[in-house]
Amino acid sequence: MAHTYTDANFESDVLKSDVPVVVDFWAEWCPPCKLMGPIVEEVAGEIDEAKMKIGKLDVDANQTTAMKYNVMSIPTMLVFKNGEVADKIVGSMPKEKLMEKLAPHLA
Amino acid sequence: MRSVAIIGSGPAGWTAAIYAARASLNPILFEGSEPGGQLMTTTEVENFPGFIHGIQGPELMQVLREQAKRFGTEIVSAMVESLKQVEGGFELVSNGQTYRAQTVILSTGATAKRLGLESEKRLYGRGVSACATCDGFFFKGKNVIVVGGGDSAMEESSFLTRFAEKVYLVHRRDSFRASKIMQDRVKANPKIEIIWNSEVTDILGEEKVTAAVLKNIVTGETREMPIDGVFAAIGHAPNISLVQGLVDLDEKGYVVTLPGSTRTNVPGLFACGDVQDAKYRQAITAAGTGCMAALDAERFLSGH
Ligand SMILES: Cc1cc2nc3c(=O)[nH]c(=O)nc-3n(C[C@H](O)[C@H](O)[C@H](O)COP(=O)(O)OP(=O)(O)OC[C@H]3O[C@@H](n4cnc5c(N)ncnc54)[C@H](O)[C@@H]3O)c2cc1C
């Protein structure tokens, strides 16, 4: 299952994670984000947690983090490795394409 | 060889799939890079018959997909990369795999036009946005540009004033194409400033958008304007890259269909929805022509 990330747990769960973390920035009012929601869930179910963690961050409730990373368009997915942004994936896409984009980042 | 391949998963594609599947033609449908098509980018659809209180665009597309699946449509979640005519039908390549079909229903729809600037691509998601509904939120208290002169430009400008401090509406001409009611709303909004006879020729910024270069078309003068965001609302263009050089297109680039049908000049190739419709461009007309395409394909197959 996809994790839920917030301003409060971002440091401990994302930045300090031992494995790469994918954070899906989304919001209730964004139609393409809602399209990506189930895809992100599915991908999270298929990728081994020991290789990569996947989770969602609601930008409405967690504006500090969204602003800190200059997220200006959603859906945006940021891949974090050792506390740094390793990749930025903007826009919605089919599952295969997302898998393809995440593959090089698997631990 | 399969009997029917459908390219595109908007209202036209799914409706064609529902009809073709119910007619036992075992259709295969390629969803493309925008599963669900244009309606995935909108919220409430209030004019699709059958939903008293309207329905969310993505929800409507989900329902159509389920309905097509229930009758046995085979779904491929990928783009079709090439399409060509072969003996007895067509050959499609998708995700490295080759498919053959006697008939093809083209329902690749339309895509919002971009300004076509290199900087627009580079700064996409960094201040350049294609979806005001999604991204307006990130421009609280900021200044943004909306480019365009039609209804959608008016709508986006008005919507963005909920968040932005100031919206500059940049238009190439000295009058709008939009409906009067929408124009009046924009002109009455103190947060919107209209910049006539101008176009955006460049967008500047390293990590994010910081300025835009505006050119006055009448005087030829250019100036740099500090700005935080750029939204383009300059209309839609049909997605025809697959069939360029294969079928007849009209002067605007839309696929030409025989009046009263979905037949193109290539036997066995049918086109429906926005890719062949510069005029109505509605979900229900896309669905209607999707139905026609499936029936046209069925008739074509029974004649062979
Ligand atoms: C913001 C917005 C709001 C709208 N609101 C309404 C409304 O309220 N009511 C209404 O009736 N209409 C509305 N419309 C218009 C409506 O969305 C379109 O008329 C309709 O979606 C057209 O359907 P279509 O099936 O032709 O194609 P589209 O919906 O454009 O879908 C095209 C499909 O083709 C696929 N595709 C493209 N190229 C390929 C390829 N090479 N291989 C495989 N697949 C491919 C795409 O992935 C996509 O799935 C709105 C449009 C927009 C943008």
- Give the tens place of pLDDT for each residue, B254-300: 999 999 999 999 999 999 999 999 989 999 999 999 999 999 999 99
Angle formed at CA B242 by CA B236 and CA B247, multiple of 5 degrees:
95
Please check whether residue A57 lies inside any domain of the structure. yes
Asked which of A54-63, B40-49, B128-137, B177-186 is least confident by mean pLDDT, the reply is B40-49
Q: What separation, in Å, do the N-terminal and C-terminal C-alpha atoms of chain B show?
A: 14
Listed residue (B194, B137, B134) closest to B167, CA to CA: B194
Please check whether residue A104 lies inside any domain of the structure. no
Q: Where does the pLDDT of residue A29 fall: very low under 50, low under 70, confident under 90, or very high at 90 and above?
A: confident
d(CA B41, CA B38): 6
**Contact flag B57-A31 (C-beta cutoff 8 Å):** yes
Does residue A70 register a pLDDT over 80? yes
Listed residue (B2, B3, B12) closest to B303, CA to CA: B3
Buried b (16+ CB within 10 A) or exposed e, B41-69: bbeebeebeeeeeebbbbebbbebbebbb
CB B96 within 8 A of CB B83: no
| Minimum Cα–Cα distance from A37: chain B residue | B58
Please check whether residue A23 lies inside any domain of the structure. yes
- How is chain B split into domains, by residue range? 2-111+236-303, 114-232
Q: Which domain holds residue A54?
A: 3-99
d(CA B206, CA B113): 24
pLDDT at B275: 98
Q: What separation, in Å, do the N-terminal and C-terminal C-alpha atoms of chain A show?
A: 18
Helices A95-102, A31-46: inter-axial angle, 10-degree rounding: 60
The CA distance from B1 to the nearest CA of chain A, in Å, is 25
CA distances from B55 to A102, B19, B115, B252 (A): 33, 22, 31, 32
Nearest to B31 among A59, A60, A94 (CB): A94
Q: Is B283 in the pocket of ligand 1 (CB under 6 A)?
A: yes
Is the Cβ of A64 closer than 8 Å to some Cβ of chain B? no
Please check whether residue A107 lies inside any domain of the structure. no
The residue that leads in pLDDT, B57 or B274, is: B274
pLDDT at B128: 96
Using DSSP, state whether B48 is helix, strand or coil: coil
pLDDT at A32: 84
> Which of residues 67 through 106 in chain B touch A, CB cutoff 8 A?
77-78, 95
CB B40 within 8 A of CB B58: yes
Does residue B304 register a pLDDT over 80? no
Backbone φ, ψ for residue B143 (5° rounding): -110, 130
d(CA B27, CA B2): 8
pLDDT at B242: 97
Q: How many residues does chain B have?
A: 304
CA B236 to chain centre: 6
d(CA A35, CA B62): 9
Rg (CA), chain B: 21
Is the Cβ of A95 closer than 8 Å to some Cβ of chain B? yes
Listed residue (B62, B70, B87, B56) closest to B27, CA to CA: B70
DSSP chain A: --EEE-TTTHIIIIIT-SS-EEEEEE-TT-HHHHHHHHHHHHHHHHS-TTT-EEEEEETTT-HHHHHHTT--SSSEEEEEETTEEEEEEES---HHHHHHHHGGG--
Neighbours of B302 (CB within 10 A): 8
Closest-lying ligand 1 atom to the alpha carbon of residue B42: 1
Provide CB contacts within 8 A for B259, sequence distance 6+. Answer: none
Annotated catalytic, B228? no
Token pair for B175:
């009058």
Q: Which of B44, B134, B140 should be substituted to probe chain A, the one whose Cβ sees the most A Cβ atoms within 10 Å?
A: B134
As a whole number, mean pLDDT of residues B138-149 equals 97
Token pair for B200:
């955006």
Provide CB contacts within 8 A for B281, sequence distance 6+. Answer: B110, B236, B274
Mean pLDDT of chain B, nearest integer? 95
Residue-wise pLDDT tens digits, B214-249: 999 999 999 999 999 999 999 899 999 999 999 999
> Could you tell me the CATH number of the domain that includes residue A79?
3.40.30.10
Instruction: Tell the CATH topology of B2-111+236-303.
Output: FAD/NAD(P)-binding domain (3.50.50)
d(CA B163, CA B218): 32
Residue-wise pLDDT tens digits, B107-128: 999 998 999 999 999 999 999 9
Domain tally, chain A: 1
Listed residue (B24, B1, B7) closest to B298, CA to CA: B24
Does residue A79 register a pLDDT over 80? yes
Please check whether residue A105 lies inside any domain of the structure. no
Annotated catalytic, B272? no
**Maximum distance among all Cα pairs of chain B, rounded to whole angstroms:** 64
Encoded amino acid at B226, one letter: P
Q: Is B284 in the pocket of ligand 1 (CB under 6 A)?
A: yes
Number of H helices, E strands in chain B: 7, 19
pLDDT at B126: 93
**Contact flag A72-B125 (C-beta cutoff 8 Å):** yes
pLDDT at B97: 97
CA distances from A99 to A5, A94, A95, B3, B77 (A): 21, 9, 6, 31, 12
As a whole number, mean pLDDT of residues A55-74 equals 95
Using DSSP, state whether B74 is helix, strand or coil: strand
State the CATH architecture for B114-232: 3-Layer(bba) Sandwich (3.50)
Backbone φ, ψ for residue B242 (5° rounding): -65, -30
Answer yes or no: same fold for B2-111+236-303 and B114-232: yes
